[in-house]
């Protein structure tokens, strides 16, 4: 499983077999797991980790999407030179995109998983024949398993991408977990004065709880909706963030009351209430407001890299508590096996909900990185995170988020990885400083 | 949606209980599959939604059934004479329980099989007149001759095979060992009858062989039991016939589909009794095989499926087996899938997840062991290995007590003195009634379900 640590997205391309996602060693000619002929994989174009388009229409609509430009596809490096046709068009400028889909729908749909590379390419069997990604021999049954080797096929949540002009997010199952229990929501709205507000919420389901994937999805969506409701009413962003976390918490709590159909069959998952972490960022009125519960984080990476980057959140974790209580130094605390046990979360069995919020007034432009530990485990310090962020991330936030997910996957991808990037622009003459913190 | 009319069409549901999480390198996947049939039979359960209806018969009408009662008429049935009289009374009671319209016949068994009623290789159709005639014919039954059960079964098969019905069932009563034919003759008869009709088998008194009677019931997918006191026969026969009349659909098979590289370790029915089905597989297309389950009324049964999957990396997930209930099309078309469930395998780094054992799997693993140690303990006792018998029956007492199998615990307490059930400390009773040890052996495979 040893994957070479790399920050070069070009190498990201061949770090995994395009057929079965098995990690590869440099110099491999064939995949050790499925025998995929790697010499047949075209050279990757420069610096394009993942190219995504709108989610494919489930049935009838797909028939209309026959031209390469409109074909619903999510591919990784399969079309040398032709990648431009597959590139996600920027909102508002979508030449060659199917006329039926509006730019915003295009941008907001979660991308299909890039692990189904060949399935939608013109060279594959006629539509409807979906071949297994693992053995490439069996058809896929209605339950999402291969009819030959039984392997589970990638699900929509395994890899999700979204870009809304000024904010972008990417979420990936990673390499060691069987499903993606992270979730995110990004959106834009306007304050009463008409100035824009940008929202990003990232949640990480607690694996030891039941239905963590449902918890994270519910929390991200509830917090996002709460902010979209309160910010246009003129609620102060920090107050709005606090209320959003409370709303997310209630939404996760209510999951515990619904008996899931699958639960009785699955006593292992039955043992405790659905739970997740939450971290959010709001940019509005020149302020950057962050809020969190758990160990998902926000980093600040100034555009001018000569300025120091910073971490803006304080984990609700065992290690962070030990350090802040002065009982251990950081090295000792993080070396302990309990280091990552979280001490705060959203869920019916949480001790007491303590939403943390903080408000900043940046005096220079920079990038806000909102992420789960699936990313920051591979870039823990603010300096490491800044080093992993591509230099042009504020101009191409979706691309930047893709590169950061690639960074975590190259590091081993031991957890689900989710990151949202919000470029924060300050007009050159602007001045100010951090203004408060709760 | 409310269903006001009682449906006679049984609906099947399949539920899978398993811990799908495996550690790195883990290969064995265990699952308990609970199959429930409702909506048919005599109790009119609530039909389950989303399950296809069974097309074999018209809703609102009971399926056509045929039953043959095989009564032992060997010479030993006259010792004591009450045995023959009780057998006659029990058969009469069973005939009274027949639903009108059911085809039936009575066979008298000795070293040969004789048609007692109606004769001439036919079946009678039950109504007041034929029932009375059949009971009249029973008076002519007398004891004399040997025992060759294979011949009884072959005659029953001929009689039932001629009938145009959906449910074919036999009821067999014997009081002695199958002495007048070779064991392989009985085995061959069972093989030729298997899948053609189902059969309940009863041993009356204590001079019969438990393994013979249980082998008949298991091969023909029926129940086996002991009726130690002939006076209890009538009640038992009535109940068996009621069960047979409650059957709604025959020849249901449990189909297991497994992906390439997956090996089936065993398939067992584990409730209401343990029956190993592993060797009774018939191939049904690529990577699929059918295991017979016989006929179903309103009832629920549990199956334990154990498969070995190929190794896969952490984070991988695969379908280890697809379990479905299959009803063959009588006209030879494609079989109908009544319901299905999935057995999965997910490899995880989470040790707490991968090391926990599903409570259902643990429970039935214990029940299967319970049946096995009772058999081994009784065999050891018969062969004079009293230390071995004490150890095995002690373990049985411990398992029965821990799992709440009170009926079996009660039967065990007639064979051993229990010192401490929790640790399985027992002493063999110096004197054990033959009926008690035979009852324990016959009923050793009976299981209880998990306390919920």
Query: Using the beta-carbon criterion (under 8 Å), do A150 and B350 form an inter-chain contact?
Result: no
> Bridge partners of B109?
B72, B113
> Bridge partners of A371?
A297, A419
Q: Which residues of B350-385 are buried (b: 16+ CB within 10 A; e: fewer)?
A: eeebbeeebebbbbbbbbbebbbbbbbbbebbeeee
Give B118→chain A minimum CA distance, Å: 51
* Chain A residue with minimum CA distance to B347: A178
Extents of the domains making up chain A: 156-437
Residue A14's pLDDT is: 60
Beta strand pairing call for B124-125 and A297-302: unpaired
Mutation for A interface: B316, B342, B354, B362, most A CBs within 10 A? B316
Element (H, E) at B265: strand B263-271
Token code pair at residue B301: 């049964």
Q: How confident is the model at residue A16 (pLDDT cuts 50, 70, 90)?
A: low
Residue A372's pLDDT is: 96
Q: Is A262 on the interface with B (CB under 8 A)?
A: no
Query: Using the beta-carbon criterion (under 8 Å), do A146 and B259 form an inter-chain contact?
Result: yes
> Bridge partners of A357?
A291
Query: Using the beta-carbon criterion (under 8 Å), do A149 and B16 form an inter-chain contact?
Result: no
Q: Where in chain B is the domain with CATH 3.40.50.410?
A: 65-246
Residue A88's pLDDT is: 35
Q: Which residue of A150, A173, A207 is in closest CB contact with B319?
A: A150
Dist CA A419 CA A107 (whole Å): 17
DSSP, collapsed to helix, strand or coil, labels residue A294 as coil
Q: Which residue of A152, A207, A208 is in closest CB contact with B317?
A: A152
Q: Is A268 on the interface with B (CB under 8 A)?
A: yes
Q: Where in chain B is the domain with CATH 2.60.40.3670?
A: 15-53+250-351
Residues of chain B with pLDDT under 70: 1-9, 39-61, 451-452
Token code pair at residue A103: 């730019």
Q: Is A149 on the interface with B (CB under 8 A)?
A: yes
Q: How far is CA A203 from CA A78, A199, A216, in A?
A: 32, 13, 5
Count of C-beta atoms within a 10 Å radius of residue A291? 29
Q: Is A261 on the interface with B (CB under 8 A)?
A: no
Token code pair at residue B342: 């999935």
Query: Using the beta-carbon criterion (under 8 Å), do A150 and B258 form an inter-chain contact?
Result: yes
Query: Using the beta-carbon criterion (under 8 Å), do B352 and A208 form an inter-chain contact?
Result: yes
A15, A27 in Cβ contact below 8 A? no
Token code pair at residue B197: 């009709």
Q: Which chain B residues are Cβ-neighbours of A150 within 8 angstroms?
A: 258-260, 262, 309, 318-320
Q: Which chain B residues are Cβ-neighbours of A174 within 8 angstroms?
A: 315
Of A131-140, A245-254, A363-372, B52-61, the poorest mean pLDDT is in B52-61
Range list of β-strands (E), B272-368: 275-276, 282-283, 288-296, 299-308, 317-327, 336-347
Whether residue A172 is predicted with pLDDT greater than 60 in this model: the reply is yes
Residue A52's pLDDT is: 32
CATH number for region B359-442 = 1.20.120.1690
Q: Which residue of B262, B318, B356 is in closest CB contact with A268?
A: B356
Average confidence (pLDDT) over A389-393: 94
A284, A195 in Cβ contact below 8 A? yes
Task: Identify the CA nearest to A192 among candidates A240, A224, A248.
Answer: A240
Beta strand pairing call for A287-293 and A275-284: antiparallel
Q: Is B319 on the interface with A (CB under 8 A)?
A: yes
Residue A339 DSSP code = T
Q: Is A178 on the interface with B (CB under 8 A)?
A: yes
Q: Is A329 on the interface with B (CB under 8 A)?
A: no
Q: Which residue of A150, A176, A207 is in closest CB contact with B259?
A: A150
Q: Which residue of A135, A146, A176 is in closest CB contact with B315?
A: A176
DSSP, collapsed to helix, strand or coil, labels residue A362 as coil
Residue A32's pLDDT is: 62
Q: Which chain A residues are Cβ-neighbours of B261 within 8 angstroms?
A: 149
Any idea which residue has 């199917």 for tokens? A98
Q: Is B348 on the interface with A (CB under 8 A)?
A: yes
Q: Is B320 on the interface with A (CB under 8 A)?
A: yes
Q: Integer distance in angstroms from the first to the last C-alpha of chain B?
A: 28
CB pairs under 8 A between A and B: 70
Task: Identify the CA nearest to B399 among candidates B310, B248, B274, B276.
Answer: B274
Phi, psi of B183 (to 5 degrees): -55, -35
Task: Identify the CA nearest to A154 among candidates A97, A115, A185, A193.
Answer: A115
**Alpha-carbon torsion A368, A176, A292, A184, what sign?**
positive
Phi, psi of B104 (to 5 degrees): -155, 165
Beta strand pairing call for B103-109 and B65-72: parallel
Return the percentage of chain A with pLDDT > 70, whole number: 65
Residue A38 DSSP code = G
Q: How far is CA B384 from CA A279, B377, B380, B381, B444, in A?
A: 72, 11, 6, 5, 20
> Bridge partners of B22?
B347
Q: Is A175 on the interface with B (CB under 8 A)?
A: yes
Residue A306's pLDDT is: 92
Q: Is A174 on the interface with B (CB under 8 A)?
A: yes
Query: Using the beta-carbon criterion (under 8 Å), do A148 and B259 form an inter-chain contact?
Result: yes
**Average model confidence (pLDDT) for chain A?**
75
Q: A100-154 pLDDT, tens per residue?
A: 433 443 344 444 444 444 333 334 444 557 788 888 888 888 888 999 999 988 8
* Chain A residue with minimum CA distance to B322: A150
B206, B183 in Cβ contact below 8 A? no
Whether the bond between B55 and the residue before it is cis, its omega within 30 degrees of 0, is: no
Query: Using the beta-carbon criterion (under 8 Å), do A146 and B261 form an inter-chain contact?
Result: no
ipTM, 2 decimals? 0.75
Query: Using the beta-carbon criterion (under 8 Å), do A208 and B262 form an inter-chain contact?
Result: no
Whether the bond between B118 and the residue before it is cis, its omega within 30 degrees of 0, is: yes
Dist CA A272 CA B22 (whole Å): 20
Dist CA B38 CA B40 (whole Å): 6
Q: Where in chain B is the domain with CATH 1.20.120.1690?
A: 359-442
Q: Which residues of A380-408 are buried (b: 16+ CB within 10 A; e: fewer)?
A: eebeebbebbbeebbebbbbbbbbbbbbb
B442, B415 in Cβ contact below 8 A? no
Q: Is A150 on the interface with B (CB under 8 A)?
A: yes
Dist CA B37 CA B14 (whole Å): 9
Dist CA B75 CA A167 (whole Å): 94
Q: Which chain B residues are Cβ-neighbours of A143 within 8 angstroms?
A: 319, 342
Q: How far is CA B296 from CA A301, B41, B168, B202, B263, in A?
A: 68, 8, 12, 20, 28
Any idea which residue has 């797909």 for tokens? A62
Token code pair at residue B325: 């209930």
Average confidence (pLDDT) over A20-27: 64
Query: Using the beta-carbon criterion (under 8 Å), do A152 and B262 form an inter-chain contact?
Result: no
User: Going by CATH, does the domain composed of B65-246 fall within 3.40.50.410?
Assistant: yes
Count of C-beta atoms within a 10 Å radius of residue A285? 15
Residues 6+ away with beta carbon under 8 Å from A52: A74, A88, A111, A112, A114, A161
Mutation for B interface: A20, A178, A337, most B CBs within 10 A? A178
- The more confident residue out of B399 and A334 is B399
Q: Which chain B residues are Cβ-neighbours of A176 within 8 angstroms?
A: 314-315, 349
Average confidence (pLDDT) over A323-331: 88
Average confidence (pLDDT) over A173-181: 91
Beta strand pairing call for A168-172 and A159-163: antiparallel
Give A265→chain B minimum CA distance, Å: 5
* Chain A residue with minimum CA distance to B286: A148
Dist CA B175 CA B276 (whole Å): 26
Range list of β-strands (E), A165-258: 168-172, 182-190, 196-205
Query: Using the beta-carbon criterion (under 8 Å), do B347 and A150 form an inter-chain contact?
Result: no
- Greatest CA span in chain B, whole angstroms? 73
CATH number for region B15-53+250-351 = 2.60.40.3670
Task: Identify the CA nearest to B320 among candidates B123, B29, B120, B121.
Answer: B29
Mutation for A interface: B318, B322, B337, B342, most A CBs within 10 A? B318
Phi, psi of B308 (to 5 degrees): -115, 120
Count of C-beta atoms within a 10 Å radius of residue B318? 25
Dist CA A241 CA A385 (whole Å): 24
Q: Which chain A residues are Cβ-neighbours of B347 within 8 angstroms?
A: 178
Q: Is B286 on the interface with A (CB under 8 A)?
A: no
Range list of β-strands (E), A82-164: 159-163
Give A153→chain B minimum CA distance, Å: 9
Any idea which residue has 């962050």 for tokens? A290
Query: Using the beta-carbon criterion (under 8 Å), do A149 and B259 form an inter-chain contact?
Result: yes
Which ranges of A67-207 does DSSP label H, i.e. alpha helix?
83-86, 103-108
CATH number for region A156-437 = 3.60.40.10
Token code pair at residue A291: 């809020």
Q: Is A428 on the interface with B (CB under 8 A)?
A: no
Q: Which residue of B17, B19, B316 is in closest CB contact with A178?
A: B316
Beta strand pairing call for B124-125 and B113-117: unpaired
Count of C-beta atoms within a 10 Å radius of residue A354? 11
Q: Integer distance in angstroms from the first to the last C-alpha of chain A?
A: 43
Cα radius of gyration rounded to whole Å, chain B: 23
Residue B5's pLDDT is: 41
């Amino acid at each position: 499983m040893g994957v070479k640590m790399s920050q070069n997205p070009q190498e990201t391309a061949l770090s995994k077999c395009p057929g079965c996602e098995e990690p590869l060693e440099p110099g491999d000619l064939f995949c050790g797991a499925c025998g995929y002929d790697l010499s047949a994989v075209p050279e990757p174009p420069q610096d394009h980790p993942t190219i995504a388009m709108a989610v494919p229409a489930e049935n009838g609509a797909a028939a209309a999407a026959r031209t390469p430009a409109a074909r619903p596809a999510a591919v990784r490096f399969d079309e040398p030179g032709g990648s431009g046709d597959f590139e996600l068009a920027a909102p508002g400028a979508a030449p060659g995109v199917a006329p039926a889909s509006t730019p915003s729908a295009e941008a907001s749909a979660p991308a299909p998983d890039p692990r189904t590379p060949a399935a939608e390419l013109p060279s594959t069997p006629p539509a409807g024949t979906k071949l297994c990604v693992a053995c490439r021999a069996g058809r896929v049954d209605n339950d999402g398993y291969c009819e030959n080797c039984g392997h589970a096929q990638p699900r929509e949540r395994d890899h999700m991408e979204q870009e809304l002009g000024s904010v972008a997010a990417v979420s990936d199952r990673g390499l060691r977990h069987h499903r993606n229990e992270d979730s995110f929501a990004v959106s834009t709205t306007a304050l009463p004065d008409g100035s824009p507000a940008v929202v990003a919420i990232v949640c990480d389901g607690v694996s030891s709880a039941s239905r963590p994937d449902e918890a994270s999805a519910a929390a991200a969506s509830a917090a996002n909706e709460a902010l979209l409701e309160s910010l246009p009413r003129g609620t102060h962003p920090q107050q709005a963030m606090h209320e959003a976390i409370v709303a997310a918490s209630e939404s996760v709590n209510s999951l515990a009351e619904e008996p899931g159909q699958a639960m009785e069959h699955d006593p292992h998952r039955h043992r405790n209430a659905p739970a997740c972490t939450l971290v959010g960022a709001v940019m509005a009125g020149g302020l950057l407001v962050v809020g969190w519960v758990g160990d998902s984080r926000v980093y600040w990476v100034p555009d001018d890299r000569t300025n120091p980057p910073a971490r803006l959140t304080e984990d609700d974790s065992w290690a962070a508590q030990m350090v802040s209580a002065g009982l251990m130094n950081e090295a000792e605390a993080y070396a302990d096996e309990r280091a990552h046990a979280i001490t705060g979360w959203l869920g019916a069995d949480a001790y007491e909900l303590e939403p943390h919020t903080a408000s900043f007034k940046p005096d220079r432009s920079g990038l806000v990185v909102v992420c789960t530990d699936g990313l920051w485990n591979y870039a823990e310090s603010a300096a490491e995170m800044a080093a992993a962020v591509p230099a042009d991330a504020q101009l191409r936030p979706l691309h930047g988020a893709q590169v950061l997910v690639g960074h975590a996957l190259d590091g081993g991808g031991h957890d689900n990885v989710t990151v949202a990037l919000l470029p924060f622009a300050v007009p050159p003459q602007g001045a100010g400083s951090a203004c408060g913190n709760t | 949606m409310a269903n006001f009319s009682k449906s006679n069409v049984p609906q099947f549901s399949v539920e899978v209980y398993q811990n799908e999480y495996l550690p790195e390198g883990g290969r064995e996947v265990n699952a308990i599959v609970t199959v429930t049939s409702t909506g048919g039979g005599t109790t009119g359960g609530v039909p389950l939604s989303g399950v296809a209806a069974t097309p074999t018969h018209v809703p609102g009408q009971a399926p056509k059934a045929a039953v043959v009662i095989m009564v032992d008429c060997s010479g030993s049935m006259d010792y004591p004479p009450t045995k023959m009289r009780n057998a006659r009374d029990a058969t009469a009671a069973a005939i009274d329980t027949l639903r009108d319209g059911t085809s039936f016949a009575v066979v008298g068994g000795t070293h040969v099989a004789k048609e007692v009623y109606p004769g001439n290789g036919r079946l009678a159709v039950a109504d007041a007149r034929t029932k009375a005639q059949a009971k009249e014919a029973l008076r002519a039954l007398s004891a004399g001759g040997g025992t060759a059960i294979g011949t009884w079964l072959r005659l029953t098969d001929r009689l039932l095979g001629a009938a145009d019905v959906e449910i074919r069932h036999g009821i067999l009563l014997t009081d002695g060992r199958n002495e007048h034919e070779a064991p392989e003759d009985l085995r061959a008869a069972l093989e030729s009858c298997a899948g053609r009709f189902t059969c309940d088998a009863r041993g009356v008194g204590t001079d019969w062989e438990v393994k013979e009677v249980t082998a008949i019931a298991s091969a023909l997918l029926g129940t086996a039991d002991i009726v130690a006191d002939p006076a209890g026969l009538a009640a038992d026969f009535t109940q068996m016939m009621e069960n047979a009349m409650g059957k709604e659909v025959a020849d249901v098979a449990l189909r297991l589909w497994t992906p390439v590289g997956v090996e089936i370790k065993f398939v067992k029915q584990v409730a209401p009794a343990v029956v190993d089905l592993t060797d009774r597989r018939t191939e049904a297309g690529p990577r699929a095989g059918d295991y017979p389950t016989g006929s179903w009324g309103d009832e629920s049964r549990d199956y334990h499926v154990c498969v070995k999957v190929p190794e896969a990396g952490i984070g991988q997930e695969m379908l280890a087996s697809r379990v479905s209930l299959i009803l063959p099309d009588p006209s030879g078309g494609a079989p109908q899938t009544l319901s299905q469930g999935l057995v999965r395998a997910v490899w995880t780094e989470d040790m707490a997840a991968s090391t926990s054992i599903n409570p259902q799997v643990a429970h039935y693993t214990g029940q299967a062991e319970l049946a096995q140690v009772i058999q081994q303990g009784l065999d050891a006792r018969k062969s004079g290995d009293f230390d071995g018998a004490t150890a095995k029956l002690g373990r049985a007492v411990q398992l029965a007590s821990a799992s709440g199998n009170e009926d079996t615990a009660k039967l065990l307490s007639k064979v051993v003195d229990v010192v401490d059930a929790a640790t399985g400390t027992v002493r063999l009773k110096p004197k054990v009634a033959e009926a008690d040890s035979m009852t324990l052996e016959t009923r050793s495979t009976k299981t209880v379900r998990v306390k919920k």
